[in-house]
Amino acid sequence: MKQVDKIALQDWEKFKEDIARSTPVDKTMTHAEREKHRIYLEAHPIEWIKFFCAPYVKSEFAGFHKRAIRRIIANDEWFEVLSWSRELAKSTITMCIILYLVLTGHKHNIILTSNSKDNAIRLLAPYRAMLEANGRIIAYYGAQMTPGSWTEDEFLTKGGAAFRALGAGQSPRGSRNEAIRPDVLLVDDFDTDEDCKNPDIIQKRWEWWEKALYPTRSISTPTLIIFCGNIIAKDCCVVRAGAMADHWDIVNIRDKEGNSTWPEKNSEEFIDRTLSKISTKAAQGEYFNNPIAAGEVFESITYGKVPSLKKFKFLVAYGDPSPGESKAKKGKSFKAVMLMGKLDGKLYVIKSRLAKSLNAEFIDWYVQLLEYVGGVVPVYCYMENNKLQDPFFQQVFRPLVAKVRKERGIQLYIRPDERKKTDKATRIEANLEPMNREGNMILNEAERDNPHMKELEDQFRLFTLTLRYPADGPDAVEGGNRILDEIMRKVETPLTRSRSEISRRNKRRL
């Protein structure tokens, strides 16, 4: 035996030992007591899973786990897609459900497929280890290992259930278990990032699923189909499966309110730390089922040196208040205030304030920007204020601004921008993308490392017409740019010439 095989065997034995150690059996129970306990557990699937899958159940289940367990077990004929974020245990919960269905006699022939045969074998290994070494399963359901029919890619339990690992593209023929066709089709980790770059590979893989694997099921026997996978591309097999599933369960690491979807396991502190070490693009793809192609609209962002403020005729501080009063990092909407100026046809974003913040902090951003300018040049302060926002502007922001003027002795007056705006995404693309493409939208090089400016850059890079990531920063830049142009038209002195001068210059004029 090769050294690598010896190490693999040692790891496998240790894996089984850990499972055996985690599933102790109460040897004082009589056979009758154990049978009574088994019947009770089978009637309560979540408790069954906690008891028999103890090696994998380290934290209390979240609500979405419990709903999925009940939903899948309640339907013999069912197509479920689980697009749960990383760290939400989609493969583990699926395994526990399948073990329940197999050991209680509901399902008998399981095919597990993945992007490759090796990966399918890796995903099937915990099933085999649990059936082989789990002390509680052995005590309640008997030994499951069948000598001679127990390999890493295919095995048959003593209860008559067959398991088989298949890689995408392999022939699934011959997957009958005696007269029983596959009644469980598990598709896990089917898509890969590399494969999703090639539409032909995705199409070929999907055709294999539709034409080769799916038809192995029986038309007359209820079949359970589960796809486990995140949305890693706009077009991938998981997305196609989700479109036709009976239920597509999409759960991110945080919910719409920005809270951990599994707080029993994933604390806010550790989510923050984990996400802080990767790019926004990566975080959206891996933890929020939101694959974004960076630079889809704004291919590149230009940084440059901002001219002396004295060279600008005036500046604009434009704010987008966004709904909500939250300072949590995990929320959805950002408040934004952008300090901008225009010179020689170029738009300069001089300072960015872009974050989840309280209303008072939002108003304080205007003060910070005015203090930064220090009266060197006039600053027009504006705030987005449509009809829906106006009550909030009048009742909340006006009193806050008045309070700041009184307490800090600063001349802060914010004008409402009451323009009736068109669709946010198309407006940003139409008005800013051409300017950016020509190198005429410039972010302040001196602010490149400022978290607020970094967030603005991220929002531009991750901008799509479907607004799959917040675009409050670009929206504020677009609003400020329009205000700059409007004021510029008012303050610029029109060029005038006398009629006689025009006549002299035009040789064709009579």
**283 domain-assigned:** no
Residue 4 forms part of a structural domain: no
125 lies in the same domain as 166: yes
pLDDT score, position 510: 39
Q: What percent of the chain has a predicted confidence (pLDDT) above 90?
A: 76
Lowest mean pLDDT among 25-39, 84-98, 231-245, 325-339: 325-339
Q: Identify the burial level of 195 via C-beta atoms within 10 angstroms of its C-beta, where 0-12 means exposed, 13-18 middle and 19 or more buried.
A: buried
387 pLDDT exceeds 80? Answer: no
Asked whether residue 306 falls in the same domain as residue 268, the answer is no
pLDDT higher at 299 or 497: 299
User: Is there a domain that residue 164 lies in?
Assistant: yes
Chain segment 189-224, per-residue pLDDT in tens: 999 999 998 999 999 999 999 999 999 999 999 999
Residue 326 confidence class, pLDDT cut points 50, 70, 90:
low
Are 269 and 361 part of one and the same domain?
no
Q: Are residues 308 and 356 in the same domain?
A: yes
More confident residue, 323 or 378: 378
Number of domains in the chain: 2
Question: Once rounded to an integer, what is the mean pLDDT over residues 470-494?
Answer: 91
Q: Please give the pLDDT value at position 389.
A: 74
Select from 179, 131, 181 the least CA-distant residue to 156: 131
| Distance in angstroms (rounded) separating the CA atoms of residues 456 and 336 | 9
Determine which of 128-132, 289-293, 334-338, 459-463 has the lowest per-residue pLDDT on average. Answer: 289-293
Per-residue confidence (pLDDT) for residue 351, from 0 to 100: 98
Band (295; pLDDT cuts 50, 70, 90): confident
- pLDDT averaged over the chain? 91
In three state form, how does the secondary structure of 404-446 look?
A: HHHHHCCCCCEEEECCCCCCHHHHHHHHHHHHHHCCCEEEEHH
List b or e across 314-353, with b for residues whose CB sees 16 or more CB atoms inside 10 angstroms.
ebbbbbbbbebebeeebbbebbbbbbbbbeeebbbbbbbb
Instruction: Give the pLDDT of residue 330.
Output: 45
Residue type, 24: P
For the cut 50, the answer to whether the pLDDT of residue 508 exceeds it is: no
- pLDDT of 329 above 60: no
Asked whether the predicted pLDDT for residue 34 surpasses 80, the reply is: yes
pLDDT of residue 14: 94
CA-based torsion, 448, 453, 458, 459: positive or negative? negative
Sign of the alpha-carbon torsion through 172, 216, 236, 74: negative
What type of residue sits at position 94? Answer: T
CA dist 131 and 149 (Å) reads 13
Looking at the structure, tell me whether residues 466 and 388 fall in a common domain: yes
Mean pLDDT of 15-26: 95
Same domain, 50 and 126: yes
Distance, CA of 227 to CA of 190 (rounded, Å): 8
Q: Are residues 331 and 196 located together in one domain of the fold?
A: no
Judge whether residue 493 has pLDDT over 90: no
Tokens 């997305």 correspond to 239
CA distance 413 to 189: 56
Do 267 and 314 fall into the same domain? Answer: no
- For position 408, what pLDDT does the model report? 86
Strand partners, 82: 228, 249
pTM of the predicted protein model = 0.78
201-238 burial string, b = 16+ CB within 10 Å, else e?
bbeebbebbeebbbebbeeeeebbbbbbbbbbbeebbb
Do 146 and 59 share a structural domain?
yes
pLDDT given at position 143: 96
Backbone angles phi, psi at 132, to 5 degrees: -85, -35
Do 272 and 322 belong to one domain?
Answer: no
Same domain, 328 and 396: yes
Instruction: Identify the CA nearest to 205 among candidates 157, 255, 241.
Output: 241
Q: What are the pLDDT digits (tens) for 425-472?
A: 999 999 999 999 999 999 999 999 999 999 999 999 999 888 888 999
H-state helical runs in 235-394: 237-244, 268-276, 280-287, 359-373, 390-392
- Is 222 part of a structural domain of the chain? yes
What pLDDT, on the 0 to 100 scale, is given for residue 404? Answer: 84
- State mean pLDDT over 316-329: 74
Helices (H), 209-279: 237-244, 268-276
Three-state DSSP class for residue 20: helix
Q: Tell whether the model's pLDDT for residue 362 goes beyond 50.
A: yes
Position 81 scores a pLDDT of 98
Residue 27, pLDDT above cutoff 60: yes
- If pLDDT is split at 50, 70 and 90, which confidence band does 492 have? confident
* pLDDT tens readout for residues 151-168: 999 999 999 999 999 999
Q: What is the CATH number of the domain that holds 157?
A: 3.40.50.300
Closest CA to 373 of 416, 311, 321: 311
Mean pLDDT of the region 47-72:
97
Could you give phi then psi for residue 294, rounded to 5 degrees? -60, 135
Query: Does residue 365 form part of some domain?
Result: yes
Q: What is the CATH classification number for the domain harbouring 466?
A: 3.30.420.320
Contact in structure between 224 and 107 (CB atoms under 8 Å): yes
Same domain, residue pair 317 and 449 = yes
Each residue's pLDDT tens digit, 2-16: 888 788 889 999 999
According to the model, what pLDDT value does residue 279 have?
A: 85
260: tokens are 């951990």
Whether pLDDT at 502 is above 90: no
Does 308 have pLDDT greater than 70? yes
Residue 12 resides in a domain: no
Q: Looking at the predicted structure, is the pLDDT value of residue 504 above 70?
A: no
Q: Is residue 112 part of a domain?
A: yes
Q: How many CB atoms lie within 10 A of CB 66?
A: 15
| pLDDT class of 491 with cuts at 50, 70, 90 | confident
165: in domain: yes
The predicted structure's pLDDT at residue 178: 67
Provide the domain limits for residue 123.
Answer: 30-253+262-276
* Average pLDDT score over residue span 285-291: 93
